[in-house]
Amino acid sequence: MTDEPPLRRRAAESRTGNEPHQLPSAAPEPVDAGPEPTADGPVPLTAPREGTPEPVTTVAGLAEVVARFAAGTGPVALDAERASGYRYSQRAYLVQLRRAGAGTALIDPLPLPDLSSLDSAIADAEWVLHAASQDLPCLAEVGLRPRRLFDTELAARLAGFERVGLAALTEQLLGFSLEKHHSAADWSSRPLPESWLTYAALDVELLTDLRDALDAELARQGKSAWAAEEFAALVHSGARPPRVRAEPWRRTSGIHRVRGARAQARVRSLWYARDQIAARRDAAPGRVLPDSAIVAAAELDPRDEKTLLTLPGFGGRSVRRLARTWLAALDDARQLPEDALPVTPAVEGPPPPHRWAERDPVAAGRLARCREVVIRVAGEHALPPENLIAPDSIRRLAWAPPEEVTEATVAETLRGFGAREWQLALLVPGLTPALTSPSPGA
């Protein structure tokens, strides 16, 4: 598919032995994807084959990259580095690309926030990403939106691999080891160290070779059409605007310990005060004020600075400087009238499964039988159950099945929950009788 020498060949030339790779036991007779590690282990990959490129930071440099990648052939490997845990936004702070005939490019989106010209140049190519759902939103922000893609992580899940991280897969399938110790770095810092740039370039160095190995394994297992549906769904989801969660403050870690509407109001007030500061500073909210501090303050409701600063999470200098802000947020919650306090939201969908037996024993029986079907079919096809069908879809189906349970109505119900056609073909024949069978003793 590419005109580059496969990395698997490079691995074979650099080591002895040529034993076939072994997939997890659920997937029989795996494809020969390269030599097994010798006693010395996999070959460390420490530098890109053409060296580490300098990040592109100018319009002229971007134009040169656009021309190179437009003239390249085959798939385009892409990756993006964010600064999760350091910054408020989830923007990309480095974009990496590689294509046969074009080499590798590192692009700095801070001085180059619009990469739509590059998008046009590679629009017709298949894009190869690892864990695409993590990078598609930040790539879209800079104008990069795939029309076709291949997700190596998702492909590995569908193929039955237990370890689906990029480093694990390249070691298993290509015989090379990758260092991943810069994955949690602050990529918003400048200048980026040379070792970080090498790490970033190596993340796309192997992707096309990995894509080819996984594509061959999917074809061998008869799962290529399944993967195509999954990849098409990813492209479609990446084209939609990010989902905005209602009442995001309710996701504060530890909020389950906070009892009472007034205390919940304190969590809400502190959360939004922190969020405004984090957005203004472009800092991760947890670095402004930890969730644990919000919960502690909501439980105790301190009314003066001295008491506030004795609470866990309020001891840091930057947090102490904002003591008046936190106290004001708590005071705002105290002043709220009763009708402005948080109300427990109406539960959408079924209750938690552990309550089904007491709420609706018949539905509990349906759920148990449906889960058995999912686990059995997943095992037969060497799939993780969660990749065969979303667990919430099964819960919703078991709690409120169609009024007339037929294969057609079950398929239509699951299709409405987002199930793909390949999933329906595997599951509907088993789920339909599971929804209608009487519970034991009924």
Pull the structure tokens for residue 305: 């600075």
Give the integer Cα–Cα distance in Å for 152 and 215: 9
CB proximity list for 51: less than 8 A, separation 6 or greater: none
**Same structural domain, 336 and 360:** no
Inside any domain, residue 346: no
182 shares a domain with 63: yes
Burial of 184 (0-12, 13-18, 19+ CB in 10 A): exposed
Looking at 239, 261, 279, the residue that finishes a domain is 239
Same domain, yes or no: 260 and 217: no
User: Is residue 347 one of the residues assigned to a domain?
Assistant: no
The total number of structural domains that make up the chain: 3
Q: Using one digit for the tens of pLDDT, what is the confidence trace for 205-244?
A: 999 999 999 999 999 999 999 999 999 999 998 767 667 7
* Predicted local confidence at residue 93, as pLDDT: 98
pTM: 0.87
Both 143 and 214 in a single domain?
yes
- Which phi-psi region, left, alpha or beta, contains residue 424 (left: φ > 0; alpha: ψ -120 to 50)? alpha
Q: 143: left (phi > 0), else alpha (psi -120 to 50), else beta?
A: left
Q: Give the percent of the chain with pLDDT over 90.
A: 81
Query: Are 264 and 377 found together in one domain?
Result: no
Query: 16 is written with which tokens?
Result: 């002895």
pLDDT higher than 90, residue 95:
yes
Q: Are residues 166 and 51 in the same domain?
A: yes
Q: Which of 230, 240, 241, 245 is nearest to 418 (CA)?
A: 230
Dihedral angle computed from the Cα positions of residues 7, 12, 18 and 21, in that order, rounded to the nearest 10 degrees? -20
Q: What CATH number is attached to the domain comprising 82?
A: 3.30.420.10
Give the list of residues 6+ apart from residue 425 with CB closer than 8 angstroms, or none.
none
- The arithmetic mean of pLDDT across residues 86-103, rounded, is 97
- Residue range 47-69, pLDDT digits in tens: 999 999 999 999 999 999 999 99
Average pLDDT over residues 111-130: 98
Task: Provide the 10 A C-beta neighbour count for residue 327.
Answer: 17
The pLDDT of residue 407 is 97
Q: Are residues 12 and 88 in the same domain?
A: yes
Clarify whether residues 315 and 425 are in a common domain.
no
Task: Tell whether 71 is covered by a domain.
Answer: yes
- 333 and 310 co-located in one domain: yes
- Closest alpha carbon to 389 in 364, 404, 357, 411: 411
Beta carbons of 271 and 291 less than 8 angstroms apart: no
The encoded tokens of residue 412 equal: 């239509």
In a domain, 2, yes or no: no
Instruction: Report if residue 126 sits inside a domain.
Output: yes
The pLDDT tens digits of the residues spanning 237-290 come to: 876 766 777 899 999 999 999 999 999 999 999 999 999 999 999 999 999 999
Q: Which of 301, 316, 340 is the last residue of a domain?
A: 340
**Whether residue 265 is found in the same domain as residue 413:** no
User: What tens digit of pLDDT does each residue of 382-428 get?
Assistant: 999 999 999 999 999 999 999 999 999 999 999 999 999 999 999 99
For residues 198-221, b (16+ Cβ closer than 10 Å) or e, as one string?
Answer: bbbbbbbbbbbbbbbbbbbbbeeb
Strands 73-81, 94-100: pairing is: antiparallel
Closest of 142, 55, 144 to residue 91, by C-alpha: 142
* pLDDT confidence tier of residue 33, bands split at 50, 70 and 90: very low
Domain membership of residue 334 (yes or no) is yes
Instruction: Output the CA angle 71-178-113, nearest 5 degrees.
Output: 45
CATH, residue 410: 1.10.150.80
Note whether residue 216 is domain-resident: yes
Query: Containing domain of residue 417, as a range?
Result: 353-436
> Which two three-digit tokens encode residue 118?
């590059």
Same domain, 229 and 293: no
The total of other beta-carbon atoms located within 10 Å of residue 27's CB is 19
What CA–CA distance (Å, rounded) separates 154 from 140? 20
Distance CA 358, CA 412 (A): 29
* One domain, residues 208 and 122: yes
Pairing mode of beta strands 94-100, 176-177: unpaired
